[in-house]
Amino acid sequence: MTRTSSISGLLGALLGLCFGLAGSANAQQKPPAAAPAAVLKPLVATDGEITVSADGTMISVMLAAVVPYKLDVMAKPDRVVVDLPEVNFQLTPDFGKKPAGLIKSARFGLFAAGRSRIVIELASPALPTATVQEVLGGAAFRLNIALKPATAEAFAKAVQASPPAEKLVAAPPPPIVTDQRSLIVLDPGHGGIDFGAVGIGQTQEKDVVLAFARELKAKLEDTGRYRVALTRDGDVFVPLGERVKIAQRAGAALFISIHADTLAAAPDVRGFTVYTGSEKASDADAARLAEAENLSDQIAGVETDDDPDEIAGILGDLTLRETRTYSHLFARTLVGQMSGGGSKANKNPHRSARFRVLRAPDVPSVLLELGYLSSKTDAEMMKNPAWRDQTTSAIVTAVNDFMGPRLTAGEGGQRR
């Protein structure tokens, strides 16, 4: 029997733990004689291994206890997705990042509250099976995901048999706010299983941009003029459409998505760039970047959200055009203040492309690439507190310049 898709299994037993995933328990292993009494903290996964052999490729991690899991296969790009309860992955930073056998790359991380995920991108069609192996005399367990080569037809069939990629449930509406100050939404890119660009010294974009966004939030709040919200305040995955909706639902006056780029082929390229949303990209590099940033949902294995163009149609072309004018105005202000504040600008520091995260028709939005993690200078700079201090100050000045006319226009801090 080979089970190819949507295989659920209970690897041994975590007493009383029901992970709530569909499918029958597929006990491939007898429960350990003495199951751990209570697991309060997320399980730690260590010691990742990838083994390439004549009949396939095996990826495995060591866990302190056994966990329920679920396997799925997805296409475009071809992937194997392993769902787990929350697991704290303590693997070497480069583990899974290089191609090996049937694996193009593998990612590990938090997917949603209390849930972790392994996403294995395939180099060629392959089908997975999972087993658990008791090691260290029962003190630990290895979760082994074995990949066997498959024909394109067999893989396509397994994808069809898999349940559709899930949509993460939207967060509840925000609480009623009595504070009338304008809301600035900061959006640290990526998170959780989607670590974004990886640069020199295995620096991950998701960590750099979260640290930066937190500092920027504190500085904006210090002005006393704004409420400030983050789309994520931890190492967690948030779908692109959800980021846009967080800003829309809360009636944000401004949305700033924060990222860091990488261009491995050109380690000398550096500097910040501010992007605005547009149907047509300003240049080929901007189009390439938007395509890469837009892959976030696919990387995490969720269905891409509703097409924001539909919402734009309802709200009307005029709203969208007005919003885009404001977005351009803020982008120009931001480029001016950051350059003036001593930050090195990329060649053509204001560009535009079709970024999914910049498609709220009613919230002025920009995407700021702080620099290039592939540049040694930029990568070091982004970790430098003095640079962060200077850059966040320049951004606060740009926000003040942009918001100022609106705040004094007697709108009482209402949106725009």
Q: Which residues bind Zn ion (CB under 5 A)?
A: 189, 196, 259, 293
Cβ proximity to Zn ion, 187 vs 293, nearer residue: 293
> What one-letter code names the amino acid at 5?
S
Query: From the CB of 197, what's the least distance to Zn ion, in Å?
Result: 6
Place of tokens 């329920």: 68
Query: From the CB of 121, what's the least distance to Zn ion, in Å?
Result: 17
Q: Is the dihedral of CA 85, 86, 91, 93 positive or negative?
A: positive
Cβ proximity to Zn ion, 10 vs 208, nearer residue: 208
Euclidean distance between CA atoms 73 and 121, whole angstroms: 10
Cβ proximity to Zn ion, 21 vs 295, nearer residue: 295
Which residue is closest to Zn ion by CB?
A: 259
φ/ψ bin of 130: left (φ > 0), alpha (ψ from -120 to 50), beta (otherwise): beta
Cβ proximity to Zn ion, 217 vs 259, nearer residue: 259
Cβ proximity to Zn ion, 66 vs 247, nearer residue: 247
Query: From the CB of 205, what's the least distance to Zn ion, in Å?
Result: 5
Q: Are 246 and 171 in contact (CB under 8 A)?
A: yes
Place of tokens 């605005």: 276
Cβ proximity to Zn ion, 129 vs 298, nearer residue: 298
**Which H/E stretch holds residue 269?**
none
Euclidean distance between CA atoms 273 and 351, whole angstroms: 7
Determine how many CB atoms are found less than 10 A away from the CB of residue 122: 26
Euclidean distance between CA atoms 129 and 144, whole angstroms: 8
Query: From the CB of 259, what's the least distance to Zn ion, in Å?
Result: 3
Query: From the CB of 358, what's the least distance to Zn ion, in Å?
Result: 12
Alpha helices in 240-345 (DSSP H): 240-249, 284-293, 296-300, 308-315, 317-340
Cβ proximity to Zn ion, 259 vs 388, nearer residue: 259
**In angstroms, how far is CA 224 from the centroid of its own chain?**
30
DSSP string, 94-134: TTT-S-BTTEEEEEEEEEETTEEEEEEEESS-EEEEEEEEE
Q: Are 123 and 110 in contact (CB under 8 A)?
A: no
Query: From the CB of 360, what's the least distance to Zn ion, in Å?
Result: 18
Cβ proximity to Zn ion, 69 vs 212, nearer residue: 212
Cβ proximity to Zn ion, 70 vs 359, nearer residue: 359
130-138 contacts, C-beta under 8 A, 24 or more apart: 130/7, 130/9, 130/11, 130/28, 130/69, 130/71, 130/82, 131/28, 131/29, 132/9, 132/11, 132/12, 132/28, 132/29, 132/66, 133/29, 134/29, 134/32, 135/62, 138/32, 138/33
Query: From the CB of 284, what's the least distance to Zn ion, in Å?
Result: 18
Query: From the CB of 293, what's the least distance to Zn ion, in Å?
Result: 5
Query: From the CB of 316, what's the least distance to Zn ion, in Å?
Result: 30
Query: From the CB of 328, what's the least distance to Zn ion, in Å?
Result: 21
Query: From the CB of 369, what's the least distance to Zn ion, in Å?
Result: 7
Q: Is the dihedral of CA 179, 407, 254, 342 positive or negative?
A: negative
> What one-letter code names the amino acid at 171?
A
Euclidean distance between CA atoms 67 and 9, whole angstroms: 9
Euclidean distance between CA atoms 363 and 253, whole angstroms: 6
Euclidean distance between CA atoms 260 and 204, whole angstroms: 9
Cβ proximity to Zn ion, 293 vs 297, nearer residue: 293
Cβ proximity to Zn ion, 226 vs 372, nearer residue: 372
